Every structure is written in structure tokens, then in C-alpha cells.
A and B are shown apart, each in its own frame.
Chain A
Amino acid sequence: MIINFYNIGSRVFHLLVSVFGFFLIVSIVFMFLHGCSVSKLTPIKTPEIKFNPTQNYDVKSLLSNIKKPEKMKVVFVNNNFREVDPEAATGVLILPKEYAKVAALLKICNTYKEVILEQENLVNIHIDTINSLKEFIKLEQSKSDTYKELWVNSENAYRQEKHDHKVDNIINKATTISIGAIMAILLII
């Protein structure tokens, strides 16, 4: 059996050339497509910031839960502890039930004090929130200015590029026309 090395070599060579040619064509196509594609700008995704509206605060309905004690009933007495008219009275007698109203009034007074102190805390929390929101608006303004600056820079760069492209086009056309004209003159001569 005679092995034809020449034929084998020729086939291998052809195979290698075909593979190389295939990769070359693919590479050229890829480079062409890559060259044609424009990298698109993907904007920065801003985090969603949502503020829920704050409900109105109502303390009046809460305070209406505090039962107001009835007016105190006292007995006006003179020095002998006999009941007299208020004009002639030198002292008053209070029954335990009526005296309890004094304690209740003092309790109401202290409740209001506690509520006021807690409300001071609440008002300060709201002041802090307002200050944070003011800071937030300031940052938003600053962000807006930065975006504006970005936009101006992009617009200026685009205009510069457009101008350069226009100048290049004029030069290219002028050169082509001049060369064409010279060639035409040469041909005529």
C-alpha cells in the first residue's frame, strides 16, 4: 500500500486555509459590526425616594376623654361652724366627695403638664424632620445643578464634534474637488 503524502499534505493545507479563512471572515464581520455600533448611554438609576404624607395631629379628641369634675359644692360656715351665707362666712366645709374634686383637678393639671412636655418632644422631632427635608431639598438642588452641568458639557462636546466634523467634511470635499480638477486639467493637457 502506497501512501500519497503529497495528497494528504495538500488536503491538510486546504483545510487549514479554509479554517483560517473562516475565522478571518468572522473576525472582519465582527470588527465591522463592532465599529458600526455606537455605545449607548445608560443613565444612572436613581434610587426611588418616596415620602408618605404625614397625618394631621389631633389632641382635642383625646383630651375630651378626660372627664371634667363637676363644680365643687362647699358649705359656708361662721366661727361656730354653723352654715351661713357666703357674705357672712369665715370658712368653708368640704365633704370628702367634694375634696376628691380638688385631687382630680390637680391630676388634670399634671396631665396637661405631662402632655405639654411630650408635645415639646414631638415638636422637636418635627423640627428635626423639617431640617432634614431642608437639607434634602438643598441636595436635590445641588444634584439638579450637577445634572445641568453634565448636560451643558455633553451639549458643548456634541456641538464641538459637529463643528469639527463639518470642517473635516469641507476639507475633504475641497481636497477631492481640487485633486479631481487637477487630474482633469492634466488629462486635458
Chain B
Amino acid sequence: MKTVLYGFLGCGSLALVAYVWTMISSGRSDTLNGIISKLQNSLKKKVNTIEEKQGKLKVQIDNKESLSKESKKKIADIIKKSSKDIQNVLKQDDLKKIQNEIDEEWSNI
């Protein structure tokens, strides 16, 4: 009879220890999961913010690219126009007009 009682007592103690252990570890696991979940979410938000900033930068870079193209076109236009004007000046034989041209260009130097 005593052995049976001891047996039951042993089983009960073991079951209690197992239950308490599992309860503690699952509680700890839940807390840990909660913390990690929050941390992961904040990190995901951080990634989103970074990507938004990158998107804005990309737009800025694209705008600069188009500005650069415009500037290159402007330079080409300046050279083209100037080339035409130089040809006209070289054909000129009216001294007054030549002098006016020189005066104007001189003031721009």
C-alpha cells in the first residue's frame, strides 16, 4: 500500500515539476516572442522609411539628369548660335557695324 502511495506521490511530483517548468518556459517564450515581434516590426518600419527616402532621392537624381541634359543642350545652342554669328561678322565689311560689334563684345568680356 505504501509503495502505491509513494508511486502516486512520485508521479504527481514529476507531473507538477513538468507542468511548472513548461509553464515558466512557455511564459518566457511568449514574452520573448512579444519583444522580438515588436522589434521586428520597428525594423520593418525603418526599412520602409529608408526606401521612401531612397525613392525621393531617385526622383531628385532623375530631375538632375534632365537638368543636366538641358544644360548640355543649352551649351550646344550657345555654340551653334555663336558659330552662325561669327560667320556673319566675318562677312561684314561695313566699318561702323564692325565697330559696333567690337564695342558690344568688348563690354561683355
Contacts and interface: CB of A to CB of B under 8 A. Distances in A.
A119 B79 CA distance: 12
Given A49-B58, A143-B47, A100 B11 contact: no
Interface stretch (A8-16, A31-39, A56-64, A84-92): A56-64
Interface string B72-106: 10111011101101110111111100110110011
Interface in B15-34: 15, 18, 21-22, 25, 29, 32-33
Interface string A167-188: 1100110110011001001100
B78 A111 contact: yes
Contacts of A46: 51
A103 interface: yes
A167 B22 CA distance: 9
A189 interface: yes
A157 interface: yes
Nearest to A140: B54
Contact of A65 (B4, B58, B79, B98): B79
B3 A186 contact: yes
B68 A47 contact: no
Interface in A50-96: 51-52, 54, 57, 59, 62-63, 65-67, 69, 96
B64 A129 contact: yes
Interface string A152-173: 0110110011001001100110
A44 interface: yes
B32 A66 contact: no
A49 B55 CA distance: 8
Contacts of A121: 71
A93 to B, nearest CB: 12
B47 A106 contact: no
Nearest to B28: A164
A103 B92 contact: yes
B80 A65 contact: yes
B76 A125 contact: no
B34 to A, nearest CB: 11
Top 8 closest pairs, chain A to chain B, by CB: A106-B105, A111-B82, A103-B101, A122-B71, A129-B64, A96-B93, A143-B50, A104-B89
20 contacts: A44-B47, A49-B54, A59-B75, A66-B86, A69-B90, A99-B102, A103-B101, A108-B86, A118-B74, A118-B78, A121-B71, A122-B68, A122-B71, A128-B64, A132-B64, A136-B54, A164-B25, A171-B18, A182-B10, A185-B3
